[in-house]
Amino acid sequence: MKKYLPLILLILLIIFPLIGRDDYHRHLMILVLMWVVIGTGWNIIAGCTGQVSFGASAFFGVGAYTAGLFSFKLGLSPWWGLAVSGLVCMALAFPFGWISFRLRGPYFALVTLALGEILRHIATVWESLTGGMVGILIVQTYVSKVPYYYMVLALAILSVVGVKVIMGTKWGYYFLSIREDQDAAESLGINTQFYKMLSLNISAFITGMVGALYMVYMGFIDPKVVFSLHDISIMAILVGIVGGVGTIYGPVVGAFIMVGLQEFFRTGFFGLFKWLGAVTDAQAVKVAAKYVSEAHVLGFGILVVLVILYLPNGIVGDWGKIIGAFIPRRKKEVQR
């Protein structure tokens, strides 16, 4: 059963547009799949290679701006931007990694944080190129959400399968060895600088692609949205750690949970509070409903604290622990 779970999920995802006919659910699924890609991108550099990054927003934003500027400045179709965005992000990741991989652990995390913030400032200040705070508005190619859905699904499948394949090859073992002990890996003759760069570039490539896809899908970006520290970088980390750091399907699970949770709070527990307010007509419930819809960041914060304390390896990584908490293990009792 467990073996076929990814396959069943895949089939469900492929036939989803036939089931979920309204645009709201399709939109949510597109967001979930985007977060699968961003989470996977974070996971390969942070979870598999051990270089915790706060810089998902940098690559996401550069990808989105690449697509946007292709249409806004060059007058070409933004789809060309989608085609080259991954390469543009790699072009950014290369010098960045070369400079900053001399740092380790928390200090590397700080540099990536600084990179995202610097790019956000540049996008804000350089008005002649990026339009500053006004952002970039383009006309979407398709009215229907289905083409976008299949594109982002393809990207998600590609990135998850790609990471799965990579983690099974020699590269993947090198990544893991760097995560476990960089000095030991170095002394065994692994070129750690090269493999960290490789990991960062893979991460940048897929994050940039999904950034460009976000641009062509949403049709509007501004620096505050795509370079957001909280809404992109930290959300990427959340997707990673909630799902399971260093696991292949972790980001998939994490993306479903995080987007679901975000929507859960935004709609006031899926309209529960609104309904309660209408039924009881109590002022207190209405006030609570207003607060709940603003509480998603608070919910995320509490979730980070709880997950790190009690499920440090995420839902996929600690699956045995979760199951064990609910179902007492019979096998062990028999053995005794």
Partner 1 sequence: MEVFLQTLVAGILKGGLYGLIGIGMTLIMGVMGIINLAHGQLMMIAMYITYSLFQFLGIDPYVSLLISMPALFLLGMAIQKYTLNPLLEVESILPENQVLMTVGIGMVLTEIIRFAFGSDYKSVQTSYSTSTFFIGEISFSLALTVAFFIAVVFTILMFWFLLKTDMGRCIRATAQDKDAALLMGVNSKRITIITFGLGSALVAAAGSLLIPIYYLFPDIGGPFTRKAFVITILGGLGSTVGAILGGLTLGLAESFGATYIGMAFDDMIGLIIFILVLLFIPGGFKRLTKI
Interface with partner 1, residue 88, by CB under 8 A:
no
Q: Find the part of the chain contacting partner 1 (CB under 8 A) among 113-121, 141-149, 166-174, 325-333.
A: 113-121
Chain residues 47-76 in contact with partner 1, contact rule CB under 8 A:
47, 50, 52
Spatial CA neighbour of 314 closest among 46, 33, 15: 46
The half-sphere exposure of 6 on its side-chain side, counting CA atoms within 13 A, is 12
Which residue in the set 260, 312, 320, 324 belongs to the binding site for partner 1 (CB under 8 A)?
312
DSSP summary character for residue 137: E
CB-CB contact of 315 with 253 (8 Å) = yes
Interface with partner 1, residue 308, by CB under 8 A:
yes
Shortest distance, position 79 Cβ to partner 1, whole Å: 32
Shortest distance, position 320 Cβ to partner 1, whole Å: 13
Kindly report the length of the chain. Answer: 336
CA 265, CA 267: separation in Å to the nearest integer?
5
Interface with partner 1, residue 91, by CB under 8 A:
no
Instruction: Give the pair of three-digit tokens for residue 157.
Output: 């499948």
Q: Decide whether 77 or 186 has the Cβ nearer to partner 1.
A: 186
Interface with partner 1, residue 245, by CB under 8 A:
yes
Shortest distance, position 292 Cβ to partner 1, whole Å: 11
The count of other CB atoms within 10 Å of the CB of residue 14 is 13
DSSP summary character for residue 150: H
Phi and psi, residue 292, nearest 5°: -60, -40
Owner of token pair 């799902």: 243
Site string for partner 1, 193-232 (x = CB under 8 A): ------------------------------------xx--
CA 33, CA 151: separation in Å to the nearest integer?
10
DSSP summary character for residue 55: -
Interface with partner 1, residue 118, by CB under 8 A:
yes
- Site size for partner 1 (CB under 8 A): 46
The count of other CB atoms within 10 Å of the CB of residue 109 is 18
Q: Decide whether 14 or 306 has the Cβ nearer to partner 1.
A: 306
Interface with partner 1, residue 158, by CB under 8 A:
no
Owner of token pair 């790190």: 308
Q: Find the part of the chain contacting partner 1 (CB under 8 A) among 2-10, 62-70, 202-210, 295-303.
A: 295-303
CA 272, CA 268: separation in Å to the nearest integer?
6
Which residue in the set 37, 44, 46, 90 belongs to the binding site for partner 1 (CB under 8 A)?
46
Which residue in the set 9, 110, 134, 165 belongs to the binding site for partner 1 (CB under 8 A)?
110
Instruction: Give the pair of three-digit tokens for residue 208.
Output: 């940039």
Interface with partner 1, residue 105, by CB under 8 A:
yes
CA 48, CA 180: separation in Å to the nearest integer?
9
Owner of token pair 């990026």: 130
Q: Decide whether 25 or 164 has the Cβ nearer to partner 1.
A: 164
Q: Would you tell me which residues interact with partner 1 (CB under 8 A)?
A: 46-47, 50, 52, 99-100, 102-103, 105-107, 109-111, 113-114, 117-118, 121-122, 124-125, 179, 229-230, 234, 237, 241, 245-246, 291, 294-295, 297-298, 300-305, 308-309, 312-313, 317
